[in-house]
Amino acid sequence: MCFLCELKTTTTSTEAPATSAAPVARRWHPRRGFLLAAGAAAAAPVLAQVDVGGSSPVRTLVPAEQLEASAKQQYSQVLADAKSKNALAPSDHPQLKRLHSIARRLIPFTAQWNPRVAEWRWEVNLIGSKQLNAWCMPGGKIAFYTGILDQLQLTDDEIAMIMGHEMAHALREHARERLAKSKATSFLLSGASALLGWGQLGDVAANLGTQLLTLKYSRDDETEADLVGLEIAARGGFWPEASVNLWKKMLGANSNGSPSFLSTHPSGNNRIQELQANLPKVQHLYEQAKQG
C-alpha cells in the first residue's frame, strides 16, 4: 500500500528470516498475530483536533464490505507467502510484541474516524524483509517490515506515528476512494457504465488482485493520513514531535543513498512543516494521555 505511504523502496524486496526470541509465559495465538474487536475498545465520542474535512462521497461507489473482504484475502496471501519463506515473525518475536503493545494503545482512538471500525478485527504482523515498508489494508490489516524498524532505529513514538498514519489511510478509506475514482473514470471513458451500470464497481472491489499493495495516494491523502495519524498517536500517549523526527530520518535515509522512496508517490517537501504547524493542536491530548 505505502511506506508511510510516500516513501517506498524501488528495489525488489529481499526476504530475511525473522528470528524469534525465547518463549514467554503468555503468548499470542499463532498466526492470528494481533486481533481485536475495535468496538469493544472504542473510545467515547471526542472532537477531532486536526482539520481534514469530510471524506469524499465518491468512495461509496465501491462497496466497503467487498473491499474489506478482498483486503482480508490478500492479507492472508501476503502472510502465507512470508511464512513459506520463513520470514513471518512468530508470536513471541520481541519486535512483534512491541508492535502489538503500540497498536493496543492506538486502536481505542480510531472509532471516531470511521463508524465501520466497530466491525473490524485489527491484525498486526511483522515480516522479515530489507524493505523500508509498512501498510494497513482496509479493515485494519497491518504489516510492518523489519527493514523499517532496524534500518531507521525507530523509537516507540516514531513507530506509533507510522502505525497511526497507516491506520488513517484505512480509516479515511483512501484505497476505496482511489479505486472508485479510477474505475469510475475508466467506465465513463469506455461507455461501460451505460451498459453495465454502477453496480459493476462492486465486482471491482471483489477482484482486486494485488492492487491494494500498489495504490498511489494523492498529496491530500498523505496530508490527511499524517494529521489523523498524529492525533491518534497523541491520544495514545505518544510524543507528537516524534512525527517530525521520523520524517527527518526518512528524508535523511533517502539522501544518504538508500533506494529512492519517493519514486511511486507524491513528494512531501512541506510535510514536516505541516506536521509542525499541527503539533500545538494535539500537544494537550498527549499530556492528558500521559497524566492518565
The region of weakest confidence among 184-193, 203-212, 233-242 is: 184-193
In this prediction, residue 29 carries a pLDDT of 45
Computed from CA positions of residues 35, 38, 42, 47, in that sequence, does the dihedral angle turn out positive or negative? Answer: positive
In this prediction, residue 168 carries a pLDDT of 96
Average pLDDT of the segment spanning 59-75: 87
Confidence check: pLDDT of 77 > 60: yes
For the segment 34-50, what is each residue's pLDDT rounded down to a tens digit? 555 444 444 444 688 99
Neighbours of 194 (CB within 10 A): 9
Average pLDDT of the segment spanning 48-77: 86
pLDDT category, 55, cuts 50, 70, 90?
Answer: confident
Q: Greater confidence, 212 or 118?
A: 118
pLDDT category, 204, cuts 50, 70, 90?
Answer: low
Confidence check: pLDDT of 171 > 90: yes
- Grid coordinates representing 32 are 492470528
Phi, psi of 267 (to 5 degrees): -70, 155
Average pLDDT of the segment spanning 215-219: 78
Confidence check: pLDDT of 194 > 50: no
In this prediction, residue 56 carries a pLDDT of 73
What is the b/e burial string over 77-107, where b = at least 16 CB atoms within 10 angstroms of the residue's CB?
ebbeebbeeebbbbbbbebbbbbbebbebbb
Share of the chain above pLDDT 70, in %: 68
In this prediction, residue 30 carries a pLDDT of 39
Task: Give the type of residue at 133.
Answer: N
> Which residues are CB-contacts of 195 (< 8 A; sequence separation ≥ 6)?
none
In this prediction, residue 184 carries a pLDDT of 56
Confidence check: pLDDT of 11 > 60: no
pTM for the full predicted model: 0.81
In this prediction, residue 256 carries a pLDDT of 58
Q: Greater confidence, 270 or 111?
A: 111
> How high is the mean pLDDT of the chain?
78
Neighbours of 290 (CB within 10 A): 10
DSSP state of 132: -
Taking a C-beta distance cutoff of 8 angstroms, is the pair 105, 43 a contact?
no
In this prediction, residue 16 carries a pLDDT of 55
Average pLDDT of the segment spanning 220-248: 95
In this prediction, residue 39 carries a pLDDT of 42
Average pLDDT of the segment spanning 86-113: 97
